[in-house]
Structure 1
Amino acid sequence: MSTAADIALVPAEHVGGHQRIPAPGAERQALVERWAERHGVDAARRLAEAEDLADAVAAEITPDNTIDTYGKSWRVWTRFCAAAGLPEAEGSRGALVAFVSWMLREGQQNGKGYAPTSASTHLAAAVVGLRERGVTVSGDDQSEARTALEGLAVKLLKTGERRGRGQAVGGDLDGLYAIARACPDTLTGDRDKALVLTGFHYASRSQDPAGLLTGDVTLHPRGLLIDVLTGKTKHSVRTAKIPYSDDPDICPVRAYTAYRTRLAAEHDQGWAAPSAPAFVGIDRWGHITGGMVPDSVTRAITRISTRAGVPVAWTGHSLRIGLASIARRAGRDGIAIADQGGWARHSRSMLGYMQRDDGWDDNAAAGLT
């Protein structure tokens, strides 16, 4: 008869092309042994199989950019351990505090320190990586490392040092007009114009248009209905309504319709299928390369804004910031803005995007005395 110690975990499986994130081996084995003592070996084996399925589902629903972040942060951790002469498979209080100090001091590959926000991300992801590899990291130790990070970040501010790129520049109406005028009369130009104008009107992130299928965009008598599913939060599952603009030069509905009409006329009708990507990649010779991905959307927006002579090049987040800022300036209700952009109502990040022009006209103290 088999004993609990003889129980082998089910090998890693693949679900939808994603390999499951491995569970900590020693912890899982100890758990299986406890199950065997309580319920018997057969039941313990089935429970272990269920755990592996749960791991596979977790891997399937984890966004690719999150997995990429885990990988990058683990490489930062291994560089730190090599530099400090510490074992990778230890997440002690001292190691974690030393990790954040090293990141702020010299952690980047060019020898410069990370911005505190980047260091915070790497700390959290490194702890995840340690736990996935069976290393016990206590909440208290992680909390102390985070407290150290916050204190060191304050010291940087007091010395006048600012790190990081800061908030991306927000899109504005002048920029939209410049972009619309600068788009060439080609399929690529039509795609660029539709990408920016529609993205602005539903406050898109770079991954949003990259994930859209043709069937997600529906023409309505009053405009476009866009089913946006980013997978980031439950608030990202929404149908954004984009009305016709009064000015046809920057109308997102007309721009998208023109782009799709030209795509169907110049290329295979398969690109009009509901399962085809709404926004396609196009090479310099006009050949379609497939659907756009988040990185290509970000590069396209920067390229498009640079071509239009926008003073500060836009990034993949400029459209999102721009919608929040301009809508607020136009007196739109905060809840309506949140619903359009897929933010949680009263979201702190959305409020941060509602930028002031100069702090004088939109000033809480103005006109009080």
Structure 2
Amino acid sequence: MTAVFETTPDRTATPPTSAVAAPSAGAEREALFERWAERHGVVAALRLAEAEDLADAVAAAITPDNTTDTYDKSWRVWQRFCTAERLPELEGSRGSLVAFVAWMLREGQQNGKGYAPSSASTHLAAAVVGLRQRGVTVSGDAQAEARADLEGLAVKLLQTGERRGRGQAVGADIDGLRAIARACPDTLTGERDKALVLTGFHYASRSQDPAGLLTGDVTLHPRGLVVAVLTGKTKHSVRNAKIRYADDPEICPVRAYNAYRTRLVAERGERWADPSTPAFVGIDRWGHVTGGMVPDSVTRAVKRISARAGVPVAWTGHSLRIGLASVARRSGRDSIAIADQGGWARHSRSMLAYMQREDGWDDNAATGLT
């Protein structure tokens, strides 16, 4: 972010009054510049154009990489739709958006199958962003109608008994954590695996969270660990998560992390104690450290670790996050405390969805009313 503000133009310089065009390209920006020039004069219009450029730079700097990837992927889906239906790519009419929704649910995937409604919803929102970025006017009413039609068609799918998508990932639980701890071999990889899962569960990690941690982001405290999670998308998810020593040493995240880090330094050298090195390292099948883990390798590792432990349904990269919310809820923890630990906004809808009921009997709203 500092670099963004360092690129701010010199506000003390006086631009030439003979300038007649905005610094930024694009018909929409040029038209806006002309209106500013007519209203405020050329000098003020240039200042406003520079401010627009700065706003664009800040927006680019704060947009997470995975959000940009989603936009790019969704734009490619939109392009395939336009090609298949012989519609102009740069047109965001009501009919085009509704047709896009219907096409996605009917045959939108590259294999000819329909998307799950949740995926179609993501692609719709990102395609609208892509259209607007390219100067296409998309009315709020057109987007709202397409979204309403998507929700209605999703209900129709449910009524016919068709459920698409993988559904919500299974949540981690204490029995699974214990099985994983026992199944980890006495190797550096085993120590890394145990620490990855046990710490990740206790701060409700996403796959990108442990992948983004540096050694200096995890600090020892007399009562446990403090994990500085800096990879979150919102002000709530960027946090200092506190992880206490567990009563059961077998599944204690603090002991597991300390054992892993001690072994890493002892076997691979003091350089891994440097605060700027990755907290969780990749290790190949021969035991060689390959550098820091990335989100995909974290997801694969969690799946592999849970399968090795014989967990009935293999966990995914999101299982640890779901598990913290679910287990803490069943244990009577306050929802605000859960939100703060896991980096959710208080009363977050996604967090409430993660507080999933195991069978609907023990935690049933109608229990004992009659």
Using the size of structure 2 for normalisation, the TM-score is 0.92
Residue aligning to 1:27: 28
For 1:309, the equivalent position in structure 2 comes to: 310
Report the secondary structure of 1:234's partner residue: coil
* Match runs of 1:178-327 below 5 Å: 178-327=179-328
* 1:329 matched residue in structure 2: 330
- 2:107 corresponds to 1:106: yes
The C-alpha deviation readout for 1:252-272, integer Å capped at 9, x for no partner, is: 000000011111112232221
Change (3 A) 1:319 1:231: closer
Mapped to 2, the partners of 1:257 and 1:292 lie a distance apart of: 18
Using a 3 Å threshold, how does the CA distance of structure 1 residues 86 and 2 change in structure 2: closer, same or farther?
farther
Structure 1 residues 107-116 or 281-290, which shifts more?
281-290
**1:75 matched to 2:89:** no
* Cα deviation 1:14-63 (Å, max 9, x = unaligned): xxxxxxxxxxx221111111122223333323322221222112111100
* Equivalent pair of 2:280/2:292 in contact (CA under 8 Å): yes
Distance 1:318 1:161, change over 3 A: same
Match of 1:19 in 2: none
Partner of 1:52: 53
Aligned mates of 1:362, 1:231 — CA distance in 2: 31
Unmatched 5+ residue regions in structure 1?
A: 12-24
Q: Which amino acid aligns with 1:262?
A: R
Cα deviation digits, residues 347-368 of structure 1 (max 9, x gap) = 2211211122221122222233
Q: Which moved more, 1:236-245 or 1:163-172?
A: 236-245
CA distance in 1, matches of 2:100, 2:33: 34
Give a deviation string over 1:85-125, Cα, whole Å, max 9, x none: 01101111111110000000000000000011110100000
Aligned to 2:278, the other structure's residue is in SS state coil
Which sits farther off after the overlay, 154-163 or 43-52? 43-52
CA-based RMSD: 1.6
- Tell me which residue corresponds to 1:7: 21
| TM-aligned CA deviation for residue 309 of structure 1 | 1.2
Looking at structure 2, the residues matched to 43 and 346 of structure 1 have their Cα atoms a distance apart, in angstroms, of 44
- How far residue 192 of structure 1 moved from its aligned partner, in angstroms, is 0.7
Which residue of 2 is the match for residue 16 of structure 1?
Answer: none
Whole-Å Cα distance in 1 between the matches of residues 172 and 126 of structure 2? 31
In the aligned structure 1, how far is the partner of 2:48 from the partner of 2:337? 46
Following the alignment from structure 1 to structure 2, what is the Cα–Cα distance between the partners of residues 67 and 368?
A: 49
**Matched residues in 2 for 1:315 and 1:72: separation?**
22
CA distance in 1, matches of 2:245, 2:131: 51
Q: Is the 8 A contact 2:17 2:43 kept in 1?
A: no
Separation in 2 of the partners of 1:291 and 1:161?
A: 41
Q: Secondary structure at the match of 1:241?
A: strand
Find the counterpart in structure 2 of residue 119 from structure 1.
120
Change (3 A) 1:84 1:274: same
Residue matched to 1:90: 91
Q: TM-score, normalised by structure 1?
A: 0.92
Q: Which contiguous aligned blocks of 4+ residues in structure 1 show a shift greater than 3 angstroms?
A: 1-4
Letter in 1 for 2:126: A
Partner of 2:236, secondary structure, is helix
Q: Which amino acid aligns with 2:331?
A: A
- The answer to whether the 8 Å contact 2:22/2:29 transfers is no
Of the structure 1 ranges 247-256 and 270-279, higher mean CA displacement relative to structure 2 is found in: 270-279
- Cα deviations across residues 230-272 of structure 1 (Å, max 9, x unaligned)? 3311111221111111111111000000011111112232221
Identity of aligned residues (%): 84
Where 1:131 maps in the other structure, the secondary structure is helix
1:8 Cα deviation from its structure 2 partner: 4.6
CA distance in 2, matches of 1:159, 1:339: 40
Q: Distance in 2 between matches of 1:282 and 1:60?
A: 31
Instruction: For 1:150, give the aligned amino acid.
Output: E
**2-side partners of 1:307 and 1:98: how far apart?**
45
Q: Which range moved further: 224-233 or 314-323?
A: 224-233
